[in-house]
Amino acid sequence: MPAAPTTPGPDAPVTSGRTVLDARDIGRALTRISHEILERNKGAGDLVLLGIPRRGVPLAQRIAARISDVEDLDVPVGSLDITMYRDDLRMKPARALMHTEIPADGIDGKVVVLVDDVLFSGRTIRAALDALNDVGRPRAVQLAVLVDRGHRELPIRADFVGKNLPTSLGERVSVRLAELDDDGGLDAVAIGTAGEMGEPA
């Protein structure tokens, strides 16, 4: 009996589908997000950027570099693993733990900007907020995402969005970043059905 087809996981690289953001689009979106973060917070003095693994981490690093270019100030960047805070742990196979790295000065009293690639149901961000509670007490928490594809299941919204991308539930958004998808391809965001996007590499 043939094996059932598999659906690509959220971290599968872009293999097909329709490209909606190319490398230049992503670069412009991150530059705009960086300036919006500075404007909202009146500078970078109290900022800490925490990327949600996997693709939120290099996005946070890119945003921090852009902010540093403007402000001539190094913005602390870290990563926040949410694996053990997910609400589907009992429904899915065991997941590998990712890396949490909190900057040396911590997050107490800081403005923490969580960074992720795609905002969908909001459950990942809920888990991130729970994880954040265990590492410190920031003065405020903001959210920056490269793509907001809608279909929220929780009352969560992003403060900074690279692109609002209306989708159907049957479609999949896939993000390629040069830091993680080491196959010679450029940064890209694509959309398509599970079949169009292919199986994870």
So where are the chain's domains? 21-87+97-176
Amino acid identity for residue 103 in this structure: P
Q: In a 10 Å sphere around its CB, with 0-12 CB exposed, 13-18 middle and 19+ buried, how is residue 136 labelled? A: middle
The CATH number of the domain covering residues in 21-87+97-176:
3.40.50.2020
Which pair of structure tokens corresponds to residue 166? 């209306």
* Residue (of 165, 173, 162) closest to 29 by Cα position: 162
pLDDT band at 5 (very low <50, low <70, confident <90, very high): very low
Percent of all residues in the chain with a pLDDT value above 70, rounded to a whole number: 85
pLDDT at 91: 65
pLDDT band at 96 (very low <50, low <70, confident <90, very high): low
- Residue 80 and residue 196: Cα distance in Å, rounded? 31
* Residue (of 146, 57, 59) closest to 100 by Cα position: 57
pLDDT at 3 over 70: no
Secondary structure of the chain in HEC code, one letter for each residue: CCCCCCCCCCCCCCCCCEEEECHHHHHHHHHHHHHHHHHHHCCCCCEEEEECCCCHHHHHHHHHHHHHHHHCCCCCEEECCCHHHCCCCCCCCCCCCCCCECCCCCCCCCEEEEEEEEECCCHHHHHHHHHHHCCCCCCEEEEEEEEECCCCCCCCCCCEEEEECCCCCCEEEEEECCCCCCCCCCCEEEEEEHHHHCCCC
pLDDT at 183 over 80: no
pLDDT at 2 over 80: no
